[in-house]
Structure 1
């Protein structure tokens, strides 16, 4: 391949990387996506209690806009910017009619007929992934003879223009059954009589969509692929990453590990930069012999000492990514084994997408490395450089709380 042709190939690769990074920028904006948490229990016959966790600033702007309550917007926004939980709860209390009208119109429980909601207690505040959430408890009065309940959620729809793809994660203990469900615009409701297969598919889909929508995890995977010379390397790296994040995911679901998002999120960003930078460092260290990285490998399982060290680094960062996956579903306390099963299915959805990305990207890079080692080196180096820069940008932003 001529020097000019090589430059053209690298320019195309660079353009692709730039396009990926530019598409990642919207994910930096707070509130680009949101998750609603609903815990449903039954204190007695014909009685359903729903504890809703709603992202505070999103609730303020959505409810104020829907009901044209400018005072709620001003007071709620000021309390959010002040970071004062007491003021945030007070702002909601002062405009409780507006907030209740918004929530009850979009979230409901039926049992043959619509159940009537009544607020139970005051608004309270909590933190999820470093984000303030308002907790609203609603009591629904339903027919005592109902055999099953149906839950519907249309909170924070795309049409409002504030977020995209809001999901409502529901845990329930109703009708002598317990379980969990994930609702979104395409699947806005579920019945407590749903089958295990329906529950499996809901959380499998949620896990797959979470990875596809989480560009930080995708870029981490691209960094692993770019730095892997042969199939065995990326398989070992991906398996190490999977084992690590599965460990912390389960520990978090069992309530045995709790780490604040203020630590987890910056470390995830740093892991992206470090793993991508690892490949750049190896290229720089070898200099004129850098193409050997694309065609040779030594040591047990084809890994040299640097390769084994890389696996150790991937495992450590995988532990932190597992906490990030757990935080995506608001796991901050010990959960039932029923919900734990659903969360493991969520993890399976993540892994299937991860393997699909590897199967699509790695063969292309492997063929390029084998046939055109120099071009393959430039290509993986360009990908690693772009991913590393994006990881550093995210790290700085998350440390500073931007």
Structure 2
């Protein structure tokens, strides 16, 4: 085995041991998404349909330290995965549950507060295999206002259970329809907002999703480390972009649906495979080989292995697109507003992706040209570490560790 590859593997083992315990948290973070549908209700009221992650809702609402009955009933039902028991636990303590929501989720009309009333019982469902409960609230608002504002502070960081909760709002009210993304930095949405204000939210959401999803970042690092020339990284990034854009749009529009228990392990496996590809190429060529541009001369053309790599990147890109779509979870009828929102979300992803490539790849090129051996060791270490983390995440996600 070539010396650079051996050194890279030793470094990878060290990184793997260091990061093993943090694997799941680093992949996407302990976060949650609230789904809200806002529409015109009966009698001039505003109806909101909230989708809340069940176990998080129970622990946030109940007081575990005081042996809260809701906590006992809710967690027992969740452990047994009994939808009827989970809904019954919330119905039995409906006042407590609704109070938690209405203290952190509000609707105002013309700057004046609307009053919420629960409509119907709690119901259960699944989103990406995770139990979610649905809560219907009808809001009585002051008459005469032609605009409404929705504000969400559900499951804040301060509660200590999750971090960076997103609230995805779909709406059809006040003559407007579309989607909005709320979080700590942008906690409210108004139907009086301009189109570019709404689109900026989705651009920022897309950028943040890539920046906070370290598995996607590691996949990009694997592409960068395994590319010897600018054209290689351009082709690889283009292949990845085209692939994930297609499946992202199809999944976000509800045309394609793949469970997260399938998507997430494959994403982890893609990281390991793409990173290991470079190590295999170095090992096959021997210790004397480098990944410099001079290895193949000034003329660039893809050989059979190069085209195969692009094909692999494209296929894995299709899976990553499903992962990007899972961050939104939008489920509404087709509209041009929805399409543009999804496109802007995707543009946010692409801008961050291209920025990372523009920052990292030139540094590796300079290092390779000034010190071919150091460049080989550096890219080998990056690839080995990324590949090992991908394998760790793959095992964790397959077996639910």
What is the match of residue 356 of structure 2?
A: 357
What is the match of residue 247 of structure 1?
A: 246
Post-superposition offset of 1:227: 0.4
Contact in 1 for aligned 2:60/2:159 (Cα 8 Å):
yes
- Does residue 98 (structure 1) correspond to residue 96 (structure 2)? The answer is yes
Contact in 2 for aligned 1:252/1:333 (Cα 8 Å):
no
Listed as ranges, the matches of 1:303-342 within 5 Å are 303-331=302-330, 334-342=333-341
Contact in 2 for aligned 1:226/1:383 (Cα 8 Å):
yes
Post-superposition offset of 1:165: 1.1
Tell me the distance in 1 between the aligned counterparts of 2:237 and 2:108: 44
What is the match of residue 259 of structure 1?
A: 258
Post-superposition offset of 1:101: 0.6
Listed as ranges, the matches of 1:24-173 within 5 Å are 25=23, 27=25, 32-44=30-42, 46-65=44-63, 70-112=68-110, 113-173=112-172
Tell me the distance in 1 between the aligned counterparts of 2:392 and 2:126: 24
Post-superposition offset of 1:289: 3.9
Unpaired runs of 5+ residues, structure 2, are none
Post-superposition offset of 1:347: 0.8
- TM-score norm. by structure 1 comes to 0.91
Post-superposition offset of 1:190: 1.7
What is the match of residue 229 of structure 1?
A: 228
What is the match of residue 394 of structure 2?
A: 395
Post-superposition offset of 1:148: 0.2
Post-superposition offset of 1:401: 2.2
Structure 2 CA distance for partners of 1:36 and 1:300, relative to 1, 3 Å: farther
Superimposed CA distance per residue, residues 60-82 of structure 1 (whole angstroms, 9 cap, x where no aligned partner): 11011399671111221122222
Tell me the distance in 2 between the aligned counterparts of 1:327 and 1:15: 31
Tell me the distance in 2 between the aligned counterparts of 1:158 and 1:255: 30
Contact in 2 for aligned 1:69/1:98 (Cα 8 Å):
no
Post-superposition offset of 1:255: 2.0
Post-superposition offset of 1:19: 11
Structure 2 CA distance for partners of 1:330 and 1:307, relative to 1, 3 Å: same
Contact in 2 for aligned 1:27/1:215 (Cα 8 Å):
no
- TM-score norm. by structure 2 comes to 0.91
Post-superposition offset of 1:84: 2.1
Tell me the distance in 1 between the aligned counterparts of 2:268 and 2:134: 29
Superimposed CA distance per residue, residues 268-305 of structure 1 (whole angstroms, 9 cap, x where no aligned partner): 11111111111111111112343156643489953221
Structure 2 CA distance for partners of 1:157 and 1:149, relative to 1, 3 Å: same
Superimposed CA distance per residue, residues 345-373 of structure 1 (whole angstroms, 9 cap, x where no aligned partner): 11111111111111111111111111211
Tell me the distance in 1 between the aligned counterparts of 2:400 and 2:335: 33
Which stretch has the larger CA shift, 58-67 or 263-272?
A: 58-67
Which stretch has the larger CA shift, 265-274 or 324-333?
A: 324-333
Structure 2 CA distance for partners of 1:375 and 1:23, relative to 1, 3 Å: farther
Tell me the distance in 1 between the aligned counterparts of 2:34 and 2:356: 28
Contact in 2 for aligned 1:21/1:386 (Cα 8 Å):
no
Listed as ranges, the matches of 1:291-302 within 5 Å are 291-292=290-291, 295-297=294-296, 301-302=300-301
Structure 2 CA distance for partners of 1:334 and 1:392, relative to 1, 3 Å: farther
Post-superposition offset of 1:131: 1.4
Higher relative contact order (CA 8 A, sep 6+): 2
Tell me the distance in 1 between the aligned counterparts of 2:323 and 2:272: 17
Tell me the distance in 1 between the aligned counterparts of 2:67 and 2:51: 21
Structure 2 CA distance for partners of 1:381 and 1:30, relative to 1, 3 Å: closer
Q: SS at the partner of 2:41?
A: strand
Post-superposition offset of 1:121: 1.5
Q: SS at the partner of 1:296?
A: helix
Tell me the distance in 2 between the aligned counterparts of 1:334 and 1:219: 34
Tell me the distance in 2 between the aligned counterparts of 1:235 and 1:260: 31
Unpaired runs of 5+ residues, structure 1, are none
Alignment: residue pair count: 397
What is the match of residue 278 of structure 1?
A: 277
Contact in 2 for aligned 1:119/1:139 (Cα 8 Å):
yes
Tell me the distance in 1 between the aligned counterparts of 2:67 and 2:114: 27
Which stretch has the larger CA shift, 47-56 or 294-303?
A: 294-303
Tell me the distance in 2 between the aligned counterparts of 1:297 and 1:80: 59
Contact in 1 for aligned 2:28/2:214 (Cα 8 Å):
no
Tell me the distance in 1 between the aligned counterparts of 2:351 and 2:236: 15
